Amino acid sequence: MANRELAMKFLRCFCAGDVNGLAALLADDLQFKGPFHEFKSSEAYVDTLKTDPPGKCGCLVLSVTENGDNVSVYYDYVKSDRTITIAQLFKFKNRKISEILLVFDGRGFA
C-alpha cells in the first residue's frame, strides 16, 4: 500500500473509532506531536486512544499532498457539536507511520 493510501486508511480508522486498525499502521517508535499530547511510541499513543477512544465522526478531506515519505492531509473533522479543520503530516519509514504532526486550533476545547 502506498504512503498516501496508508495515511487515508489511518484517517478512516480514526474516524470509525477503530483503534486496533490504526495501531497496525504505526511504527513502534512513532513520534507524535499535537496541541494537547506528545508521544514517543505507538504503544503510548494507542494506550491513550484506548483510554479515551475517539468515537465515530465524519471526515471531509480537503487536500492531500505527497512528497517522498511525507503525506499531508487537510480535513474537516466533523463531530455532532462542532467541525474542526485539521492539518496532519504523516512521515513514513518501512511502510509504517513513523511520525505524526497534528495541527488544529484547540481554543474550541478550552
Q: What confidence tens digit (pLDDT) does each residue in 13-51 have? A: 999 999 999 999 999 999 999 999 999 999 999 999 999
Q: Which residues contact 26 (CB under 8 A, 6 or more apart)?
A: 42, 45, 46, 96, 97
Q: Which residues contact 41 (CB under 8 A, 6 or more apart)?
A: 28, 29, 30
Q: Please, what are the domains in the chain?
A: 3-104 (3.10.450.50)
Report phi then psi at 84, rounded to 5: -125, 130
What is the distance between the alpha carbons of residues 96 and 27, in angstroms, rounded to a whole number? 5
What is the distance between the alpha carbons of residues 24 and 3, in angstroms, rounded to a whole number? 14
Taking alpha carbons only, the member of 29, 19, 14, 24 closest to residue 91 is: 29
- The pLDDT assigned to 6 comes to 97
In the structure, what pLDDT confidence band is assigned to residue 96 with cuts at 50, 70 and 90?
Answer: very high
Cβ neighbours of 89 (radius 10 Å): 16
Q: Which three cell numbers stand for residue 17?
A: 473509532
